[in-house]
Amino acid sequence: MKEVCKRLLQNRLIRAILWVLGFMVFSIAVLKLDSTLANRLGISTILPFVWIALVGAGICIYIAWRSNSQGMKLAFAYFSALPLCLAAGEVYGFYALTKAKNPESSTTCNVHTEGTYGSDYFTPSLITGYKGKPNVAATAHKRTANGDSVYQVTYHTDEFGWRITPSNQNSSQAGDGVCVLFFGDSFTIGEGVEDTQTLPHYVGEILNTKANINKNVRIYNFGFHGYGPHQALALLQSGEVESMLQSSAQECKSIVSIYESLPGHIERANGFSEWERGTPAPRFSIVSSAESSAPSDTKVIWNNRIESHLERLGANIKIKILSRVSRSYLFKLLQPSYSYDQSYNALYFAILSTLQDELASRLDSPLILLLWDEHAKSMENERLESAAITKWLESASLPHLLVSQLLENYKTQREKYALHPCDMHPNALANEQIARKLAPELAKFLTTKE
pLDDT digits (tens, 9 = 90+) for 308-326: 777 777 777 777 777 778 7
- Which has the higher per-residue pLDDT, 172 or 269? 269
pTM, entire model: 0.83
Instruction: State the pLDDT confidence band at 106, using cuts at 50, 70 and 90.
Output: very low
pLDDT tens digit string along 127-170?
999 999 999 999 999 999 888 999 999 999 999 999 999 988 76
Helix (H, G, I), strand (E, B) or coil at 237: helix
Contact between 382 and 263 under an 8 Å Cβ cutoff? The reply is yes
Q: What is the dihedral of CA 81, 82, 83, 87, to 10 degrees?
A: 90
Instruction: State the pLDDT confidence band at 105, using cuts at 50, 70 and 90.
Output: very low
- Backbone dihedral angles phi then psi of residue 419, each to the nearest 5 degrees: -65, -35
> How many angstroms separate the CA atoms of 381 and 387, rounded?
10
Q: How far apart are the first and last CA of the chain?
A: 83
> How many angstroms separate the CA atoms of 392 and 236, rounded?
23
- Which has the higher per-residue pLDDT, 404 or 112? 404
Contact between 154 and 201 under an 8 Å Cβ cutoff? The reply is no
pLDDT tens digit string along 235-244?
999 999 999 9
Type of residue found at 70? Q
Q: What is the CATH number of domain 112-449?
A: 3.40.50.1110
Helix (H, G, I), strand (E, B) or coil at 58: helix
> How many angstroms separate the CA atoms of 32 and 37, rounded?
9
Mean pLDDT of all residues in 275-294: 76
Mean pLDDT of all residues in 294-320: 76
- 90-111 exposure pattern, b = at least 16 Cβ within 10 A, e = fewer: bbebbeeeeeeeeeeeeeeebb
DSSP per residue, 311-362: HHHHHHHHHHHHHHHTT-HHHHHHSPP----GGGHHHHHHHHHHHHHHHHHH
H/E element holding 139? strand 137-143
Instruction: State the pLDDT confidence band at 108, using cuts at 50, 70 and 90.
Output: low
- Backbone dihedral angles phi then psi of residue 286, each to the nearest 5 degrees: -80, 135
Contact between 151 and 142 under an 8 Å Cβ cutoff? The reply is yes
Compute how many other C-beta atoms are within 10 angstroms of the C-beta atom of residue 84.
16
Mean pLDDT of all residues in 75-104: 80
Q: Where in the chain is the domain with CATH 3.40.50.1110?
A: 112-449
Closest CA to 384 of 395, 373, 369: 373
pLDDT tens digit string along 262-278?
999 999 999 999 899 87
- The helix, strand and coil proportions of the chain, stated in percent and rounded to the nearest 5, come to 50, 20, 30
Compute how many other C-beta atoms are within 10 angstroms of the C-beta atom of residue 292.
12
Report pLDDT for 424. Answer: 96
DSSP per residue, 238-301: TTHHHHHHHHSSEEEEEEEEEEEE-TTHHHHHTT--GGGTTS----EEEEE--SS--GGG-EEE
Report pLDDT for 222. Answer: 98
pLDDT at 291 over 70: no
Return all residues near 108 (Cβ < 8 A) that are at least 6 apart.
144, 145, 146, 148, 422
Q: What's the farthest any 2 CA atoms get from each other in the chain? A: 88
Closest CA to 52 of 84, 17, 79: 84
pLDDT tens digit string along 330-388?
888 888 888 899 999 999 999 999 999 999 999 999 999 999 999 999 999 999 999 99
